[in-house]
Structure 1
Amino acid sequence: MQTAISADGTTIAFERVGDGPPIVIVGGAFSVAADGAAIAAALADAGFQAVTVDRRARGASGDMRGSLPEDEVSDLAAVIAAVGGEAIVLGHSSGAVLALYAASRGVPITALFLSEPPFRFGVAEPDPLLADRLQQLVDAGKNEDAVLTFQLEGVELPAEMVESIRQSDLFERLVPLAQSTVYDARLTAQVSTPTRGMLSVPQPVTILRGEQTFPLLVTATDRLAEQMPAAELVIVPESVMHRPDPATTARVVRQRV
């Protein structure tokens, strides 16, 4: 993996595959660069230089305790500078929230593809102190509790699904990412309702969602599309339950760039 240095000195790791215009893939909660490998491969086959990123406090990237959403904006800006100075950005889930926020803050993004960003628009918001409570759990060495709390309250997974994950091999991979839940919770709380600047970014915007996904995400993407009249909403039948289909997603991007 390669690295870029963010504005606060944090090292951000990323990986590139393919040749062509750079497209940075920004994953959501609990994701690391490797989780974007299938989409990156599909985009590389479609003629792009696909860049997957370990967001701060994940994988090979560093961390700075007390990080704010603005720091993650700087992380994305540093990666884009390292891969050519400007880039298309494909964000999924909280990564889509970050991508749109970064565009509104002047990061040199040429086009945005926003996959199921979990905006709340003021409805059924999580506890505003969730990020602080998660940080307290992490600071107390209770990473497992932080992961479970975020799944239950931040992502709002059903309790039986969370228990199933806790008993699976997957849980061991999630626990080291506990600190990142703080940053995801803080980001999605700060811009749960997109700012005016986010809704009026100058870049072409494509909003993606699966035909079958969680009701909250259907509401979020449809409302975002309503509030961004210049954006295009694309329903992707092959993407199921908050999991983007690599081949179809790459085809949607290729058709619009």
Structure 2
Amino acid sequence: MSSFATSRDGTRIAYTVEGSGPPVILVGGAMQFRGFDPNTVAMATMLAAQGFTVVNYDRRGRGESAQAPSFTLADTIDDLRALIDAAGAPAALFGSSSGGSICLAAAAAGLPVSALVLWEVPLGAEQGTDSAANLVGLREKLAAGIGDDVIAYYMKDMPPEWLEGARKSPGWPVMTAMGPSLEPDTESLAWTQSAPRAQLWSAITAPTLAVVGEQTLPIMPLAAESIAANVPHGSMATIPAANHSWEPDVMANRIAEFLRSLP
């Protein structure tokens, strides 16, 4: 059964809680929410069984959190603040893909975060301009109001077979409906290029683990290395995984191992 937290602008954020112990909040990336992401749902149960209170939520504009007046990075950080208040501060954050850049922004903004585990955050080059350009382009597509075009634009730099597979899948209508919620993903990635990363992330006090799969896109290890080098307490790990996806038990075990290793 879902519970609900109320964000600063009144948006109701739906979430599920499992387990008992130190809180861990799961922050989905693009196109992820509880009803559309069985891997994360399974991982939440496995992580909870290892002694953690696991909060899995639908980001605004998705699932049971579908109604929202706006979709900005600041809104999304406010949502996380409400969830941390509900779970009990401080809380660890697990960020999947672009959810990882949202987690970095939340921690840098001063939210009470005890630890960060970040899975394959697709960072561009430090102080590059590609994500800012993508944000402009995404907003243009959103303004035009054609959901298919929004998702195709968002996925334009991914392997073409990923977009082709998405178009042919029964989940394509679900993906096209959540287009507005992709704005904070893109905005958070643009933020990671907006200044030198050591400067952007200097206020992050939480121990941070950047995780990549053994078989992955070339951008991912470079991004993880950048996180490990520029977050004050950053490190990097590799797990058995491929194609920007992971097995629930493998990820649950790696998160638990990292969190248990902390003082």
Q: TM-score, normalised by structure 1?
A: 0.89
Any residues of structure 2 matched to 1:79-118 within 5 Å, and which?
79-118=83-122
CA distance in 2, matches of 1:125, 1:240: 28
Alpha-carbon deviation of 1:50? 1.0
CA distance in 1, matches of 2:144, 2:245: 32
- Which of 234, 246, 249 is the aligned partner of 1:247? 249
Secondary structure of residue in 2 paired with 1:256: helix
**Structure 1 residue 256 corresponds to structure 2 residue 258:** yes
Contact 2:206 2:233 in 1 (8 A): no
Secondary structure of residue in 2 paired with 1:42: helix
- Which of 212, 217, 220 is the aligned partner of 1:214? 217
1:10-68 Cα deviation digits (max 9, x unpaired): 22111111222211000111111342201101101111111111111111113223x32
Contact 1:212 1:241 in 2 (8 A): yes
Contact 1:131 1:183 in 2 (8 A): no
The structure-2 alpha-carbon separation of the partners of 1:161 and 1:241, relative to structure 1 and needing over 3 Å to count, comes to closer
Alpha-carbon deviation of 1:199? 4.3
Secondary structure of residue in 2 paired with 1:234: strand
CA distance in 1, matches of 2:89, 2:230: 29
Corresponding letter in the other structure for 1:206: L
- Which of 228, 231, 235 is the aligned partner of 2:231? 228
Aligned length: 252
Corresponding letter in the other structure for 1:148: A
Q: TM-score, normalised by structure 2?
A: 0.88
**Structure 1 residue 38 corresponds to structure 2 residue 38:** no
Corresponding letter in the other structure for 2:251: T
Contact 1:68 1:187 in 2 (8 A): no
Contact 2:128 2:193 in 1 (8 A): no
User: In the alignment, what sits opposite 2:69?
Assistant: 64
Alpha-carbon deviation of 1:195? 5.8
Corresponding letter in the other structure for 1:105: A
Any residues of structure 2 matched to 1:123-202 within 5 Å, and which?
125-126=129-130, 128-152=132-156, 156-192=157-193, 194=197, 196-202=199-205
Give the percent of matched residue pairs that are identical in Structure 1 and Structure 2. 30
Secondary structure of residue in 2 paired with 1:128: helix
The structure-2 alpha-carbon separation of the partners of 1:72 and 1:243, relative to structure 1 and needing over 3 Å to count, comes to same
CA distance in 1, matches of 2:180, 2:258: 36
Alpha-carbon deviation of 1:123? 7.1
